[in-house]
Amino acid sequence: MRSALRRGEAVDCDCFGALSAGSPVTWRSVARNLLLMLAAGTVLVSPPAGLLPVALLRAGPVAALGVVTSWALLLVLVLFLQVRGLRRKAGQASASAGRGEDPGSAAEASPSPAGAPPLLAGAYAPGAAPCANCPVPAQTAAFPSAGRAPARMGDRIPDAELLHEDFTAVPLARLGGDLPVLLLFLSPSCPPCREAALRLAGWSEAIAPVALRVASTATPRELREELPEAVPFSLHAAGWAKRALGVKGTPSAVLLGGGAEGVVASPVVEGMEQIEMLVESLLAARGESRANG
């Protein structure tokens, strides 16, 4: 968590499952985890008299009540902070909806397998050969300004770039040539990202010929040490691409269509559950394409 915060990287917590799903990691998250580790450490340390609960009973009811009360207050404080964060997030979403704005939540934009063909319309071309004459966006394209709205589904792929380990730049629109690309955003500091990294090889084989790539703000060394399974698919310096596509945290994924006029072919989805649904949508679309062919 600390390394992600130092890099200024947005990472989802998911430390408490559904209770914290989609909650960004902050320095308050670090303090909360340190308090919980301290509480767990007091349980693990057993005094010479025996187990801690037995020792507390022997010490007298006042000491036992004090320790139990302290743990209970700590638990209440942690739960209060989590619930307050969820209520604030829900209030912001309601305010955005009241103003007629798109709150941008992955749950509302998430695809389902049943809706796969409309979602991926025009993005999947079985048997298409890589484009040899597609125009390549200039690598000196202007960095997107902070005020520019992120690309949404149906928009042309933004002129952002990612870097190979040897610092060779590749534009988002050229990641797969004429073929679509499933682009995942992962971070070594994100626990759910480790689960996603273990699934990369299987997903890549299942969705072929759709390409699979991983974008990260981490260094190549950090990926090799923390997410070695992601290294064969990895590209770096993902901050520009995240802003251009509206990626708010990790793990996230988006489908980019192939071809000279490639478009953003899906919403940005967040979390393992939504990513799995997007993969299922690709498999459903491929099955229908084969059946119709």
User: For residue range 105-134, what is the model confidence (pLDDT) as tens digits?
Assistant: 433 344 444 444 344 544 444 333 333 333
User: For residue range 225-236, what is the model confidence (pLDDT) as tens digits?
Assistant: 999 999 999 999
Residues 68 and 192 in one domain: no
Residues 176 and 74 in one domain: no
Q: Contact at 8 Å (CB) between 274 and 198? A: no
Q: Could you give the CA distance from residue 271 to residue 289 in angstroms, rounded to a whole number?
A: 27
Q: How many distinct structural domains can be found in the chain?
A: 2
Residues 89 and 111 in one domain: no
Residues 115 and 237 in one domain: yes
In the listed set 98, 117, 148, which residue is the last one of a domain according to the structure? 98
Domain CATH for 144: 3.40.30.10
In the listed set 68, 98, 128, which residue is the last one of a domain according to the structure? 98
Residues 146 and 240 in one domain: yes
Residues 193 and 234 in one domain: yes
Residues 147 and 203 in one domain: yes
For the segment 257-267, the average pLDDT, to the nearest whole number, is: 84
Does the CA dihedral 32-34-39-40 come out positive or negative? positive
For position 1, what pLDDT does the model report? Answer: 52
114, with CB counted inside 10 A (0-12, 13-18, 19+), is exposed
Neighbours of 201 (CB within 10 A): 13
pTM, two decimals, is: 0.57
Residues 57 and 74 in one domain: yes
In the listed set 81, 98, 115, which residue is the last one of a domain according to the structure? 98
Domain containing 39 equals 2-98
Residues 125 and 195 in one domain: yes
